[in-house]
A and B are shown apart, each in its own frame.
Chain A
Amino acid sequence: MRHWPPAASLSLRLKTNTLPFIARKAITSLVLPLLVVATVTATWLFSASDERRISIYSTVANYSLPVVERDGHDYVGLLELLEPLGSVSATTLGTRWRLRYNDVEAEFSAGENRARVHAGNVHLAANFLLENGRGLVPLASLGSLLPPILGGPVSLHEASRRLFIGSVAVHFTAQVGGSNPQSLVMNFTAPVNPTIATEPGKLQMVFTHEPLVAPGSPSLTFQSDVIPSANYEEENGAAQITVAGRTPLFASFSNNGKTITISPAPQPGRTANLQAAGQPGAQPAAPAPAQAAPVSLAPPVQANAAQPTAAIASPTQSSYFAVLDASHGGAERGAALTDELAEKDVTLAYARRIRLELGALGLNALVLRDGDNTITLDQRASQANAAHAAIYVAVHATSDGRGVRLYTALLPSSAPNNGPFLDWSTAQSAFLPRSQAAVASVQAELQKQQLPVLVMAAPLRPLNNIVGPAIAVEVAPPASGVADINSFNYQQLVARSVASGLIAARTQIEVPR
Chain B
Amino acid sequence: MPAYKTGVRGRPKKTFAYMIKSRRVTRGYSQRQLAALLGIDHTYVSHWENGRRCPNVGILHDLVEVLEYNDKEVRWLLRTLAEGKV
A interacts with B: no
Binding site for A on B (CB under 8 A): none
